[in-house]
Amino acid sequence: MIRASTIKTLKIDDRDFSARHDETILDVARQNGIFIPKICDLKGLSPVGACRLCLVEVKGSNRLLPACSTLVEEGMEVTTTTERLQRYRRNILELLFTERNHVCSVCVSNGHCELQTLAQKLDITHVHFRYRYPNLDVDASHDRFSVDHNRCILCSRCVRVCDEIEGAHTWDFMGRGIESLVITDLAEPWGTSETCTGCGKCVHVCPTGALFEKGKSVAEMLKRREFLPYLTQMREEHS
Amino acid sequence: MPDEPTTRKTILIDPVTRIEGHAKITLHLDAHGRVADAQLHVTQFRGFEKFCEGRPFTEMPSLMARICGICPVSHLIASAKACDALMAVRIPRAAEKLRRIFGLAQVLQSHALSFFHLSSPDFILGFDSDPARRHIFGVAAESPEIARNGIRLRQFGQQIIERLGGKRIHPAWVVPGGVSEPLSVANRDAILVALPEMLTIAQLTLEWFKGVTENFREEITSFGNFPTLFLGIVKDDGGLTFYDGKIRIVDAGGYVVATGLDPATYNDFLGEKVEPFTYLKSTYYKPKGYPEGIYRVGPLARLNIADRFGTRRADQEMAEFHEIQRTAVLSSFHYHHARLIEILYCVERMQQLLDDPEILSKHVRAIARPNSEEGVGVAEAPRGTLIHHYKIDDHGSMRWANMIIATGHNGLAMNRSILQVARHFVHAERLEEGMLNRVEAVIRAYDPCLSCSTHADGRLALAIQLVAPDGAVIDELRRK
Ligand code: SF4
Ligand code: SF4
Ligand code: FES
C-alpha cells in the first residue's frame, strides 16, 4: 500500500501533476507527453545525468537540473522550455556532432538514430563549432558486432546495460573528457573479450550507430529496446 | 586581353558549361597561332580510397555512391558486386534482375540528360548559336516536342530509381548480397505501364537524330575521329550487357583483340598513364603499350565491341549504325547516336525483365560474412566500364580500395580529341565563342563526369586557356 506521504504534487510548465516520490521529473514529463530532450537516459537503466540534454529550470534553484536524475519534490515548479534551455541543448548537441565523425548518409543508423532525431527536433541545420575530426578506429573483431568510435557519444548506456542487466561488465571507459573511449575488457579487441556473452544488449541500447550488427547496410540497423523495461520488471518480481 | 603577336599562345576554357565535374583545358599555340598541343586538366584531388580505410565493407556501396551524384546507381552496383565477391556469394536471381533494371534506369536517365539537356542545344540551335540561348530552355522554345521528350525520358528513369531505391540521388537499396527489398506488384505495374510511351520517344528521337546527322559533317570528321581500341564488357555470347560480363577489346578495324578477359585481372592488361598536368587516372591497354594502347569506353565502344543487343529494335538500329563505317565506328561524335540506341535498348530490356514473373520473387538477398579478402566488381556505367576493387582484413574492415571509372578509361582519347577539334576550329587570331563551344562539345560527347574521376565531390567547372610558347596565358574563356 502506498502511503499518502509518498505522493508529491508539482507543477511542470504551469500544469499540475502528482507523482510518486521515487519518480524523476523526466518520468512525470514522459508520462504526460511533455517533451524533454534526453539521450543518456534509458528506462530500465540507472540514471547517470551524463549528457545534460535534459536540463530544466526549477524555481528557487539557480542551477539547471537534469530532469532524468532529479526526483520530484513537493511544490516543485519546473519549466522545461525557455530560450536559455533551448540554446544550451542546441549547443550540447552541436558539440556532440563536432567531437566525432558523424556522416549520417552512410551510417547504419541513418533514420533510426536518437542523436539524429534530436538534432532534427531541435532544428539544428548547421553546427557553429569547429569539428575535431578525430582519427578513430572501428573495432570489427567481434563475430557479430562492431563498434565504430566515430559515432559514439559516450552516453554509457552500453556500459550500464552490460553491467546492470547482463552482469558481464565487459564495457567501460578509458581516458578522460573528450579523449574518452568505450572499451571492452582491458581495452582488448571485442572479439577476444573473455567476459562478453554476445547477448547484444549493448548494441540495441546504443542510441547511435556506434554499436551495430555486422552485415547491416546503411539505415538498416533498427534497434529494439522494449526488452529492457520487461527484463527489469520481471527481475524485480522474482527477487 | 591583348594579343602578343610573336609568341605561342594558349587558350583556356572555364567552365566547360554543361558537363559534370571540374576541369580545365589548356591549348598551346605555336608561333604561327596554330594549336600545337591540348591538355585536359582535372584539378581536384582524389580522396575516396583514403576515406574507405578501416570502414566496414558493408558501408562501401553507399559511400561509393556518394562519389558521384551523376551515376550513383552504377557505383552502387559495381560496389555491391565487389562486396558480393568479398562474401563469396551468388546473389538470388531476382536480385540480379532487379539490379539490372536499376542499372538500366540509371543509363536511361543519364543518357537522356546527356543527349537532351546537355547536347541537343548544339544540334537544334547550332554550335555557333547564341550561348545565352544554347541550353534546354532554348531547345524548348525552338522544338518543344524534343525538349518535352527529353524531360519525360529522364523523369521516367529517375522515377524508377526512386520507386526501387527510395531516394533519388543516393539510393541505398542495392546492398551486398542483393537488394534490401523485393519489387512490389504496384511498382512493377507502374513501370510497365509507362514503357510504351518511352519506346515511342526513343524511336522518334533516333529517327530525328539520324535525319540531322548530315548537317554535322565537319564535326563528325573532327570530333575525336581517329583510330583507337574500344573496351567494354560483353556476355559470354558476345551480347551487350550493362551488368555482368567479361572484358572484350576491339581494334579500330573492328577486329577482336582480346575477349573473355576477367575484369578481376584488370591490372594485368590495363596500364596507368600518369600525366603531370592532371589528377585523372588515365589508362591504356598494356599489351599495345602507350600510345597505341589508347582505348575508348562508353556507348560508342559498347556498340563497337558487342555482337548484338538481344532486343529486336535495338538490334536493327545496331545494324544500321555499323553502316556508318565498315570498320569500328570511329568518330566520337557518334557517341550521341550510340547513346540513343542504348536508350531504346534500355526500354526494350526493361520490358523483358519485368515480364518475367520471377522479378517479384521475395528472395532477393544472400546473407553471408566476408569469405574472401579481395573482391572486384564491374559494371557498365552510362559512360563506360566501371571497376571497383576492394581488399579487407579478417574482420571485414576495408584495407584498400581502387576504382577505375569511365572517364579515366577515356582520359587519353579525350585529350587527343580535344587536340583534334581545337586544331580544326581554333585559330589564335580570332577567339570565337563557337569554336570554343566545339572544344567543349567534344568533351560533352564523352559525357565525362569529372568529379568522380578525381574521386572528389565537385561541381562542373572548366576553363579554356590560351598559352603562348613562352608559357604566358594570353587569353582565357570563362562563362557565367
Ligand atoms: S550515429 Fe546518428 S548522428 Fe551519428 S552518423 Fe549515425 S545516424 Fe548520424
Ligand atoms: S557505444 Fe553507444 S551506448 Fe556505448 S557509450 Fe557510445 S554511444 Fe553510448
Ligand atoms: S538524459 Fe539527463 S543527463 Fe542525459
Per-residue pLDDT, B46:
54
From A157, A161, A162, A165, mutation site for ligand 2 pocket: most ligand atoms within 8 A of C-beta: A157
Q: Give yes or no for a contact between B305 and B248, defined as CB atoms under 8 angstroms apart.
A: yes
User: B66 to chain A: which residues are within 8 Å by CB?
Assistant: 105-106
DSSP SS3 for B397:
strand
Give pLDDT, residue A235: 81
Domain boundary among A15, A49, A81: A81
Q: Do B56 and A219 touch (CB under 8 A)?
A: no
Q: Can you give the length of chain A in residues?
A: 239
Cell 573492328: give the residue.
B254
Domain co-membership, A109 together with A76? no
Q: Residue A76: inside a domain, yes or no?
A: yes
Regarding whether A167 and A214 lie in a shared domain, the answer is: yes
The residue-averaged pLDDT of A178-207 equals 96
Q: Are residues A111 and A213 in the same domain?
A: yes
Q: Which chain B residues contact residue A147 at CB under 8 A?
A: none
Nearest to B54 among A106, A137, A215 (CB): A137
User: What is the pTM for the complete model shown?
Assistant: 0.87
Residue A62 belongs to domain with CATH number: 3.10.20.740
Do the Cβ atoms of A36 and A26 come closer than 8 Å? yes
B118-124 contacts, C-beta under 8 A, 24 or more apart: B118/B18, B118/B19, B118/B444, B118/B447, B119/B18, B119/B336, B119/B441, B119/B444, B119/B445, B120/B146, B120/B147, B120/B150, B121/B18, B122/B437, B122/B441, B122/B444, B123/B209, B123/B212, B123/B216, B123/B336
Q: What is the mean pLDDT of each run of 10 residues along chain B (480 residues)?
A: 43 46 73 85 61 90 77 92 97 98 95 91 90 85 94 94 72 89 95 97 97 93 95 97 97 97 95 74 90 95 98 98 95 97 98 98 96 97 95 95 86 91 77 76 81 35 72 68
Q: Tell me, yes or no, whether A164 and A203 share the same domain.
A: yes
Atom of ligand 3 nearest to the CA of A67: 2
- Residue B363, pLDDT score: 97
The CA distance from B205 to the nearest CA of chain A, in Å, is 37
A138 vs B contacts (CB less than 8 Å):
54-56, 397
pLDDT digits over A12-58, tens only? 999 999 999 999 999 999 999 999 999 999 999 999 999 999 999 99
Ligand 2 pocket: which of A152, A159, A163, A205 to mutate (most atoms within 8 A of CB): A152
CA–CA separation, B177 and A185 (whole Å): 33
Domain assignment of residue A89, yes or no: no
CATH number, domain of A209, equals: 3.30.70.20
**Nearest-angstrom CA–CA distance, A129 and B34:** 54
| A116 and A232 within one domain | yes
Q: What pLDDT was estimated at residue B462?
A: 57
| A86/B200 Cα distance (integer angstroms) | 57
Residue A143 Cα, gap to closest chain B Cα (Å): 8
Maximum distance among all Cα pairs of chain A, rounded to whole angstroms = 56
B interface test, pick of A136, A217, A221 with most B CB neighbours within 10 Å:
A217
In a domain, A86, yes or no: no
In this structure, the answer to whether residues A133 and A62 fall within a common structural domain is no
Rounded to the nearest whole angstrom, what is the distance from the C-alpha of residue A219 to the centroid of ligand 1? 10
Does A135 reside within a domain? yes
User: Does the Cβ of A210 fall within 6 Å of ligand 2?
Assistant: yes
The predicted-structure confidence for B5-30, as pLDDT tens digits, reads as follows 344 555 555 444 444 444 678 888 88
Is A126 in the same domain as A171?
yes
Residue A188 lies in a domain: yes
| H/E segment holding residue A221 | none
Prediction ipTM score = 0.80
Is residue A239's pLDDT more than 70? no
pLDDT of residue B19: 41
Going by C-alpha positions, the residue among B372, B370, B408, B412 that lies closest to residue B387 is B408
Count the neighbouring beta carbons within 10 Å of the beta carbon of residue B199.
17
Residues A70 and A160 in one domain: no
Measured CA distances, A218 to A105, A111, B172, B187, B455 (Å): 8, 9, 7, 22, 21
Domain limits for position A51? 4-81
- Inside any domain, residue A93: no
Cα distance between residue A211 and residue A159, in whole Å = 12
Is A90 inside a domain boundary?
A: no
Cβ-based interface (< 8 Å): residues of B facing A: 54-56, 58-59, 61-63, 66, 170, 172, 175-176, 180, 367, 369, 395-397
Task: Determine, for residues B172 and A108 on separate chains, whether the beta-carbon distance falls below 8 Å.
Answer: no
Same domain, A169 and A67: no
* A166 within a domain of the structure (yes/no): yes
Same domain, A62 and A129: no
A214 and A145 in a common domain: yes
Q: Can you tell me the distance from the alpha carbon of A181 to that of A239, in angstroms, rounded to the nearest whole number?
A: 34
Residue B239's Cβ-count burial label (10 Å; 0-12, 13-18, 19+) is middle
Residues contacting residue B284 through CB under 8 Å, at least 6 positions apart:
B270, B271, B273, B290, B291, B293, B294, B295, B412
d(CA B176, CA B87): 8
Q: Do A117 and A54 share a structural domain?
A: no
C-alpha cell read off for B389: 576493387
pLDDT at B27: 85
In the predicted model, what is the mean pLDDT of residues A109-121? 95
State the alpha helices, DSSP H only, in A72-167.
Answer: 83-99, 114-121, 157-160
- How many domains is chain A partitioned into structurally? 2
